[in-house]
Amino acid sequence: MLSCKEVTHLLSEGQDRKLTLGEKVQLEMHLAICHGCRNFRSQMDFLREACRRYVADRQRGDD
């Protein structure tokens, strides 16, 4: 079973590369029973969305 700390690393790497099937299975097993890590995953997704929006807002023509 992965620890929460290991899960934070995998979730971060999941934003940078395709996780292996084995990694995904382990991750999902952990997330199924760990509310804190599920929130962590949502927070990571939120961060990526905020970055995307940040760049888009800067580039938007103001008209």
Partner 1 sequence: MHEKHLNADSSPLIDQDFLAVTRRDMVKFAHLQLRDASQAEDVVQEALVAALDNAGGFAGRAALKTWIFGILKNKIVDLIRQQARTTNVSALSREEENLDQTFDTLFKANAHWTPGARPRDWGDPEESLRQQRFWDVFDACLKHLPENTARVFMMREFLEFETPEVCRELSISVSNCNVILHRARNGLLRCLEKNWFAPGEHPC
Residues of the shown chain interacting with partner 1 in the complex, contacts defined by CB under 8 A: 3-6, 8-9, 12-13, 15-17, 35-37, 39-40, 42-44, 46-55, 57-63
CB 1 within 8 A of CB 30: yes
In 3D, which of 7, 6, 47 has the Cα closest to residue 31?
7
Of 25 and 49, the one with the shorter C-beta distance to partner 1 is: 49
Local structure of residue 14 (DSSP, 8 states): T
> What is the Cα 22 distance to its own chain's centre?
17
Tell me the closest approach of the beta carbon of residue 16 to partner 1, in angstroms: 4
Of 5 and 32, the one with the shorter C-beta distance to partner 1 is: 5
